[in-house]
Every structure is written in C-alpha cells, then in structure tokens.
Amino acid sequence: MTIPPVGFDGKRRTVNYGISTAQTVWNMRSALNVAALNCLEPEYQPVLEAYKALLSTDSRVLRKTNDALMKEYREKFGKEYRDHFDTYMTQVYNFYSMPPARKNFCDAALAVSPEAMAVSSADLEAFSLRTLPLLNSVFEDFFRSYEDYRTNLAAWDSEYGVQPATGTLLATYGNNVAIDNPMNAGVTNTATVASPAPGAGVPAAGAVAVPATTAPMGSVTSDVTVATSADSSEETAVPTITLPTVASETAAPPAPTLTLPPASNTTATPVPTITLPQTTPPGNSSGGEG
C-alpha cells in the first residue's frame, strides 16, 4: 500500500491537497457519491438520500462547477485536458473507496448527511469547503495509524522475528514413501531409515531418533522416533511414528495489529495508538503452542 507523504508544511499529499475551490466542490460531491454506493448497511440510508437531494437541489451549481473545472484543465493541459481530468478523478474515487477506511468513512458521510440534505445552492461552496476536510480526515487518521503500525511491527520483528523455515519434517522408510508430520509443519528436516540389506534378516526391535531442527518460535518442538517391528515373520518392518513433546519455549507476544478509531462527527479523529498485547505465558508439558 502506498501512503501519501507529508510535506514540509506538515500536510499530507492526498488527492485533496492544493486543489481549487471548484475542485473542492467536485471532490465533495464525489465523496458522497462513493459513500452512497459503498455504504449499503441500513443505517447509512440517509447518505444515499442526501446525495440524491444534492444532485437535485444543486444541479445548476454543479454544472457550473464542472464547466469551471474543464476550463482550469484546458488552461493547464491544453488538448489533453480530458485525459488528465479523468486520470485524476479515478484517483479521487479510488481514494474514497479504500477498504480499510470504509467503516469510518461511512460514519463521517452519515454525520454530514443532514446538512448535505438541506444545503442550498448559494451555500454549496461554503459547505464543500468545510465538509471535505472532515471527510478527508478519516483517511489522514488511517494513514497515521498504518504508519504507526508499520513502525511497531518493524520493532516487533527486530526483537522477536525469526526466519521462516523452508520445508516440512518428513520420515521415509525403505521404499522412500514419505510420511508427512503435520505437527512440525514449516520445519526443515528429512530423515531416512534404510531397509534391511538382503540376507541381513529383520533388524532387532529398537528405535531411531530423528531430532527436529529448530521450529519457528511459538511452535511445538518434538523428537520423532521411528520404531521397527521385532516380528521375524515380516520381511520388512512397518514403521510407526511417535511424537513425544517437550515443553515449548516462551512465545513472543503477538505481532501488532492495526486498529482504527471511530470517525468523529464534527472534527478530525485524534491520532490513533497501537497497543501491543501482553506476552502469552509459557506452554505446559502437554504440548501445543505456547
């Protein structure tokens, strides 16, 4: 995910940074459009009604706004103005459609819906100038939360992270038919117990211990014992697998998770914090993850 950077002025370079008044009105309309399409739960029905009222009541002002925008783009980009406009508006719609922020965005759109329902054409510009920052703040909060999450996750990985293993512990017997051991998925080790040599007879009862390599932290670490049969009537012994477990190591605390605060009805939401859960107690001798 690409996070818009923060400039030297302390403002994040989102799609709503440094835009004209006409573009502000149009982006506010676009935001409510996305909310009306994406916020489909029953409690968000007022968002759809507000957007429909905006299109009906302020249609003339919106047409003038669109004309003003086209003029701005023609002056800046010449004959290719329409391509630039379409590209930018695609970015705007994608911005408001960001899945991780959908719930808070819908809540923010719901909060401004009563005023959007009643705004007059004469006040549409002023309404847009004060409403767009409120809608934009939802995404500002998400970006800050995500940046904090990545910082905390990097710190967690630095202290607790381990390199992932590259394979699965297997035991093979004689004819190289693999016996997969799901208890140690992710552990790299392959053990082979050879078949008896011709004329050597059946091997005496016993066991071959195949120690597992180090498992990822938090996994059960076990020794795998392959036991052979002592029944001399069999030409080859049938392998059996036993899994004695040992006490697992103390597990690392769970990795940080991303939590977003609820959207504010009147002001930008406060900067969120990421809370790391407490360390999980060590596992007991009965096995299982610690």
**pLDDT value of residue 165:** 57
Q: In the prediction, which pLDDT does 21 show? A: 96
Nearest 10 degrees: Cα torsion 130, 136, 141, 142: 160
The residue with greater pLDDT, 4 or 76, is 76
CA distance 194 to 191: 10
Give the DSSP letter of residue 182. G
pLDDT digits (tens, 9 = 90+) for 80-108: 999 999 999 999 999 999 999 999 999 99
Q: How far does Cα 39 stand from its chain's mean position?
A: 20
H or E element, residue 110: helix 102-118
Residue 126 backbone zone (phi > 0: left; psi -120 to 50: alpha; other: beta): alpha
Q: In 126-205, at which residue ranges do the beta strands (DSSP E only) sit?
A: 170-173, 177-180, 190-193
Mean pLDDT over residues 22-42, rounded? Answer: 96
Average pLDDT over residues 210-230: 44
Q: What is the pLDDT of residue 216?
A: 47
Segment holding 93, helix H or strand E: helix 81-96
255 pLDDT above the threshold of 80: no
User: From the centroid of its chain, how far is CA 107?
Assistant: 21
Supply the pLDDT for residue 133.
94
Per-residue pLDDT averaged across 137-161, rounded?
83
pLDDT for the residue numbered 145 = 79
Cα–Cα nearest to 162, from 122, 221, 243: 221
Q: What is the mean pLDDT of residues 18-27?
A: 96
Q: Which residues fall within 8 angstroms of residue 41, CB to CB, at 6 or more apart?
A: 106
The answer on pLDDT for 236 being more than 90 is no
Q: What token pair was written down for 18?
A: 């440094």
Beta carbons of 165 and 215 less than 8 angstroms apart: yes
| pLDDT number for residue 59 | 92
pLDDT at residue 96 in the model:
95
